[in-house]
């Protein structure tokens, strides 16, 4: 066994400690204790300011203590306090009230409902604004709803929580989701820019969601262009929590039980049905049926043993078997005696590689503050086992946020987080991973042979798949550890009677990672890989951002409100990747394998990267009498990634009109506030080009000259050849954004409506078009050739209120549409193809002018050829004499779209695309006394999925692996002319399985119940006995069910995290292809929230 790293032991130590009951016991003991001076019995009634009704369930607490209570069904309360104490009254949907007792025995309180769009401060570019003064398009995320999603990735939790945001993910632990703000904006990297406590980053994978205080999504140029060249894909601004007041200790934990899909998820035939289908396929092809396993009789017979092929029990000596099933000696590879008993009832391979798994999280924070500063320290531990075997995520995160008042006008502080994670991933979403093999390996094959070794397709006549369990378990000792330090140090100075704020911040990240993997030789398959190879990879690097801003605010004559922001920013990113591999080990013991112990070919690689950015920016906001709002921003960026066009200018402007503030606007009882907005601006993108793009590069290239050219005895010479063609004229991608919006609050602020129409024209897209062969083998550069557009509509609804005296409700709805269209690719090309999965030189995806990104392309099926007469008539009318290659009874009939009387490549068409027409999220909440209930629904409508699994399971001739029941029970026959699949036959054909066609395209729309939670908060008078101020327990269920017509296990198809190969569904311009996606799982959770 390979030695474990110190980090591994640290993980296991904390894991065992946190899981023990004594952890909670010690925590409770540490929190216990309080003291009281002279006491007074205080009582009173709490009422609604608007209706005058009493409010039951209001939390009443003595400020600075753990003592508190709740109002009863008549809105009354009673508690014991000191005459000089202060009471805090808090309730969902109402503004918190803080009232001194001042020696009174009766303290009645009137609470004001919260007006949703009131004076809430929203963090925008380098400053804050009142929500009512926003003129750009900004979505404010409801953190309570977001954090109810049990996911280690903050980006995954954003799904359905903000209009304009689309999240594509899967059930794989630690997978980085694809997050899109208002659609696809480029042919390359579409990830948004994240601003965490003022520091820009592209990575929030290790951010602890419990540390987040607020989150805003900046969607249009008016809101985001202040971030210039990195804002084209949208900006997400995150502020982490700060301490305040008395010492506060919070502990939050949950344990989840993850349950993968069950049953025959691929609809695979039983072994007997598989044998019957072999006979039927050969009969339909005019062949006398026979098979190495099933014999050659009039009907197939399942053997007792599949290795030796087709053997019955009387002919196999199961005692003649020897081998260590977990061999470490390569010499044993040649000593196998293969004896494999047939699994006549069938192996459910999906069930073999997927099983229920645990998921836990523990979060502990300590915070507080006073006149001299504030602090918050937090610790988070997450441990999630994948439902797919050998998948896991273990992560530790610590955070320290402090701020200190050096004087009345000077503050200093820091926000720092450090994380360590272990997340060994492997390619699970393609046809060669364990999920792909779970629909390819035949069910007659058991997991293990009679000696306990892996069974497989070494047995004759069973195709060339691999044992899915073997594929997964051979990664057992793979490791990858990442560490990251992220944060900033800052100083703030108030000047000129607090009218001017100067702030300087230097922040960034230090990151590193290392891992290793081992490729074991195979012995159980028909096409074994005999290579054994050890791979080691590592990376390290840093980036920093130094930001300086000065902010001036002034009000003139009581109605002219002006704010001016000026700033500079410098950014540098640098790092290195390196690794190596070696082969031919005399032992496969993981304690022995490393780069130095292999005797075979050794290879290594390394590369460095570095880029810099310098920026000047400014913004002016003007507000006249809370009626007319004007904002303008300008940013100038200079980037080392470009040569001739290093500098870019990114302006934006927006206006707002609060119509309800006008004297002429009629007073409408139900309309509280109405604001109209409009914005226009330009954002940039430099993510899709690296710093080497401007330069022509040469690299050493050893070649054979076939005779010595330097007087030596060797014909192997080392020379240099061009490895990359440079493009010094490349420039920024430009995202030109137009936005028209409306903000309205109704019914005394109980309903908020935010609606936006947007249009984005993206110009000068960076793309590397193919070059002619005369250009040589050098990599082509990225050039500015493409244009694209996105249009759409965002809608956000928020409401709250009281159903009865004791039942309160709240609801949030987000709705997003986007329509993507490629306007231009290059002067010489109208399209480019990707994803050539099993279809030769023609791609599944065609990105073409006039169509959305990642559109599926192929032949449109319009039925089957039902009889020879139809075929003869079609051929008679074809100019070539053949209407369709491979034409035959029971095969697909393709549509003649160009009307020339025969099927040619010109009849191919666009069959669909994975971009949804719209997505939506619905959050619903109820509160009854101490109980709270919430649910979250998420849906996607109009997206298509290319189900590549069908190529393997629905056509007999494709590699002889497992097949679906559709092939046997719903394929074409004279008695079933309206079947789903073509005739069951042994032959391959253009008219069935050889070309892309609409058979693979399915409607991927779905509606999923993502979350259901029920919580109970214990009464304060009960928990204060152990020194607690809050104790809430809850139960929760995630992904309970999904409504969809998609035939696969999960309609939510994520990107392949192990590759960016556009031919393998891993590209931003080639997605929505299901080769065996990691399915989402149901999860059942119990959790606790505890405060002192």
User: Which range among 181-190, 241-250, 568-577 has the greatest average pLDDT?
Assistant: 568-577
Report domain extents, the chain.
32-111, 121-247
Q: How far apart are the first and last CA of the chain?
A: 45
pLDDT for the residue numbered 616: 98
- The pLDDT value recorded for residue 29 is 34
pLDDT, mean of residues 1068-1078? 88
**Percent of the chain whose pLDDT exceeds 90:** 68
pLDDT tens, residue by residue, 798-820 = 999 988 878 999 999 999 999 99
Helix (H, G, I), strand (E, B) or coil at 984: coil
Write down the pLDDT at residue 212: 95
Quick check: 814 and 795 in contact, CB under 8 A? yes
Neighbours of 9 (CB within 10 A): 10
The pLDDT, as a whole number, for residue 530 is 81
Band (pLDDT 50/70/90 cuts) for residue 424 is: confident
Q: What is the pLDDT of residue 242?
A: 93
Overall average pLDDT of the 555-575 stretch? 96
pLDDT, residue 402, reads: 97
Cβ neighbours of residue 656 under 8 Å, at least 6 residues apart?
133, 134, 135, 628, 629, 630, 675, 676, 677, 678
- The string of DSSP letters for 286-327 reads T----BTTTBSSSS----SEEESTTB-GGG--TTS----TT-
Instruction: Give the closest residue to 803 by CA, choosing from 759, 750, 839.
Output: 750
Q: Is the pLDDT of residue 918 over 90?
A: yes
Span 121-247 CATH architecture: Beta Complex (2.170)
pLDDT score at 279: 96
pLDDT confidence of residue 22: 38
155-169, 390-404, 717-731, 895-909: which has the minimum mean pLDDT? 717-731
pLDDT for residue 94? 74
H or E element at residue 273: helix 271-284
Residue among 644, 407, 625, 508 at smallest CA distance from 203:
508
The pLDDT > 70 percentage for the chain reads 90
Of 3.10.129.10, 3.30.530.80, 2.60.40.10, 2.40.30.170, which CATH number belongs to 32-111? 2.60.40.10
- Of 94, 101, 96, which is closest to residue 62 (Cα–Cα)? 101
Note the residue count of the chain: 1092
Residue 33 has pLDDT above 80, yes or no: no
Mean pLDDT of 442-462: 93
The H or E element that residue 422 is part of is strand 410-422
CA distance 518 to 597: 13
Residue 1062 above 80 pLDDT?
Answer: no
Per-residue pLDDT, averaged over 666-688, amounts to 94
At residue 174, the pLDDT reads: 84
> Would you place residue 23 in the very low, low, confident or very high pLDDT band (cuts 50, 70, 90)?
very low
pLDDT of residue 844: 94
Hey, what are 617's tokens?
A: 């920016």
pLDDT on residue 185: 92
- Tens of pLDDT, residues 823-851: 999 888 899 998 888 888 789 999 999 99
With a cut of 80, say whether residue 42 has pLDDT above it: yes
Per the rule left: phi > 0, alpha: psi between -120 and 50, beta: everything else, 148 is alpha
Continuous segment of H or E residues that includes residue 88: strand 86-90
Chain segment 44-93, per-residue pLDDT in tens = 999 887 677 788 778 888 887 767 788 887 888 998 888 888 898 887 66
Indicate whether 116 pLDDT > 70.
Answer: no
pLDDT of 9 above 90: no
User: What pLDDT sits at residue 778?
Assistant: 83
Q: What share of the chain is helix, strand, coil (3-state, %, to 5)?
A: 10, 45, 45
Torsion angles phi and psi, residue 485, rounded to 5: -110, 120
- Residue 261 near residue 1079 (C-beta atoms within 8 A): yes
pLDDT at 1072 over 80: yes
How high does pLDDT run on average in the chain?
A: 89
* Kind plus residue range of the DSSP H or E element containing 606: strand 602-624
């Amino acid at each position: 066994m390979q030695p474990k790293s110190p980090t591994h032991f640290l993980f296991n130590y904390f894991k065992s400690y946190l899981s023990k009951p004594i952890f909670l016991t010690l925590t409770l003991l540490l929190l216990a204790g309080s003291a009281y001076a002279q006491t007074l019995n205080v009582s009173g009634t709490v009422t609604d300011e608007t209706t005058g009704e009493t409010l039951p369930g209001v939390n009443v607490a003595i400020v600075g203590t753990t003592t508190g209570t709740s109002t009863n069904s008549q809105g009354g309360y009673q508690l014991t306090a000191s005459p000089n104490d202060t009471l805090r009254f808090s309730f969902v949907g109402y503004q918190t009230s803080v009232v001194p007792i001042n020696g009174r025995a009766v303290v009645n309180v009137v609470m004001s409902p919260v007006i949703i769009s009131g004076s809430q401060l929203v963090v925008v570019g380098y400053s804050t604004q009142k929500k009512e003064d926003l003129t750009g398009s900004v979505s404010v995320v409801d953190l309570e709803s977001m954090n109810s999603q049990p996911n280690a990735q903050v980006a995954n939790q954003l799904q359905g929580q903000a209009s304009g945001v689309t999240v594509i993910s899967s059930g794989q632990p630690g997978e980085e989701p694809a997050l899109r703000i208002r659609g696809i904006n480029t042919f390359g990297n579409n990830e948004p820019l994240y601003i965490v406590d003022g520091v820009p980053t592209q990575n929030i994978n290790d951010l602890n969601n419990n540390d987040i205080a607020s989150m805003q999504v900046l969607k249009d140029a008016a809101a985001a262009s202040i971030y210039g060249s990195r804002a084209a894909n949208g900006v997400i601004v995150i502020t982490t929590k700060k301490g305040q007041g008395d010492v506060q200790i919070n502990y939050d934990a949950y344990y989840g039980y993850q349950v993968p899909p069950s049953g025959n998820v691929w609809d695979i035939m039983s072994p007997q049905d598989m044998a019957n289908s072999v006979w039927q396929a050969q009969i339909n092809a005019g062949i006398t049926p026979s098979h190495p396993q099933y014999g050659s009789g009039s009907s197939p017979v399942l053997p007792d043993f599949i290795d030796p092929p087709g053997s019955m029990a009387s002919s196999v000596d199961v005692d003649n078997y020897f081998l260590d099933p977990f061999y470490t000696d390569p010499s044993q590879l040649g000593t196998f005696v293969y004896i494999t008993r047939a699994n006549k009832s069938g192996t459910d391979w999906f069930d073999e590689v997927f099983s229920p798994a645990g998921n836990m999280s523990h979060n502990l924070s300590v915070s507080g503050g006073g006149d001299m500063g504030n602090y918050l320290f937090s610790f988070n531990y997450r441990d999630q086992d994948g439902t797919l075997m050998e998948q896991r995520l273990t992560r530790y995160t610590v955070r320290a946020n402090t701020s200190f008042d050096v004087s009345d006008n000077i503050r200093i502080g820091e926000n720092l987080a450090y994380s360590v994670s272990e997340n060994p991933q492997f390619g699970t979403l393609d046809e060669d991973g364990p999920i792909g093999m779970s629909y390819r390996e035949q069910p007659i094959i058991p997991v293990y042979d009679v000696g306990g070794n892996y069974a497989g397709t070494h047995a004759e006549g069973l195709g060339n798949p691999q044992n899915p369990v073997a594929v997964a378990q051979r990664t057992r000792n793979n490791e990858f550890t990442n560490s990251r330090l992220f944060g900033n140090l800052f100083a703030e100075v108030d000047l000129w009677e607090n009218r001017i704020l100067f702030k300087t911040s230097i922040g960034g990240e230090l990151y590193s990672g290392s891992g290793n993997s081992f490729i074991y030789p195979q012995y159980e398959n028909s096409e074994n890989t005999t290579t054994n190879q050890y791979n080691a990879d590592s990376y390290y690097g840093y980036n920093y951002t130094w930001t300086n801003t000065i902010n001036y605010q002034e009000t003139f004559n009581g109605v002219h409100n002006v704010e001016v922001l000026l700033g500079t920013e410098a950014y540098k990113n640098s790092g290195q990747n390196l690794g190596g591999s070696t082969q031919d080990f005399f032992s496969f013991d993981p304690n022995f394998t490393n780069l130095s112990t292999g005797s075979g070919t050794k290879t290594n690689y390394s590369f460095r990267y570095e880029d810099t950015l310098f920026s000047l920016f400014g913004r002016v906001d003007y507000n006249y009498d809370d009626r007319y709002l004007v904002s303008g921003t300008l940013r100038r960026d200079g980037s080392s990634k470009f040569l001739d066009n290093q500098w870019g200018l990114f302006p934006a402007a927006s206006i707002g009109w609060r119509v309800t503030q006008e004297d002429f606007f009629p007073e409408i009882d139900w309309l509280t506030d109405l604001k109209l907005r409009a914005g226009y601006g330009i954002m940039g993108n430099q993510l899709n080009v690296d710093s080497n793009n401007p330069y022509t590069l040469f690299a050493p290239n050893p070649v054979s000259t076939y005779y010595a050219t330097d007087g030596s005895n060797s014909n192997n010479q080392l020379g240099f050849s061009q490895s990359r063609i440079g493009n010094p004229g490349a420039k920024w991608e430009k995202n030109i954004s137009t936005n028209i919006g409306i903000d309205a609050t109704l019914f005394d602020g109980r309903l908020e409506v935010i609606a936006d129409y947007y249009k984005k024209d993206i110009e000068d897209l960076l793309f590397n078009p193919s070059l002619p062969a005369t250009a040589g083998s050098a990599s082509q550069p990225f050039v500015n050739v493409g244009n694209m557009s996105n249009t759409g509509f965002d809608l956000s609804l928020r409401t709250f209120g009281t159903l009865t005296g004791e039942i309160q409700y709240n609801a949030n709805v987000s709705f997003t549409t986007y329509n993507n269209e490629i306007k231009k690719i290059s002067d010489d090309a109208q399209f480019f193809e990707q994803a050539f999965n099993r279809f030769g030189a023609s791609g599944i995806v065609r990105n073409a002018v006039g169509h959305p990104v990642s559109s599926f392309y192929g032949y449109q099926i319009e039925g089957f050829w039902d009889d020879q007469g139809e075929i003869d008539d079609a051929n008679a009318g074809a100019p070539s004499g053949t209407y369709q290659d491979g034409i035959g009874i029971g095969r697909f009939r393709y549509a003649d779209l160009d009307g020339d009387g025969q099927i040619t490549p010109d009849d191919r068409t666009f069959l669909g695309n994975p971009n949804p027409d719209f997505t939506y999220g619905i959050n619903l909440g109820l509160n009854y006394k101490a109980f709270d209930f919430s649910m979250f629904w998420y849906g996607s409508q109009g997206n298509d999925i290319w189900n590549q699994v069908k190529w393997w399971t629905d056509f007999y001739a494709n590699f002889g692996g497992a097949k679906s029941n559709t092939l046997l029970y719903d394929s074409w026959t004279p008695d079933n002319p309206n079947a789903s699949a073509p005739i069951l036959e042994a032959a391959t054909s253009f008219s069935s399985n050889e070309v892309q066609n609409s058979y693979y395209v399915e409607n991927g729309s779905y509606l999923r119940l993502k979350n259901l939670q029920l919580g109970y908060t214990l009464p304060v008078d009960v928990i204060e006995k152990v020194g607690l101020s809050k104790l809430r327990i809850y139960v929760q269920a995630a992904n309970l069910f999904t409504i969809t017509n998609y035939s696969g296990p999960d309609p939510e198809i994520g990107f392949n995290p192990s590759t960016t190969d556009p031919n393998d569904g891993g590209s931003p311009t080639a997605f929505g292809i299901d080769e065996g996606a990691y399915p989402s799982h149901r999860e059942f959770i119990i959790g606790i929230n505890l405060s002192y």
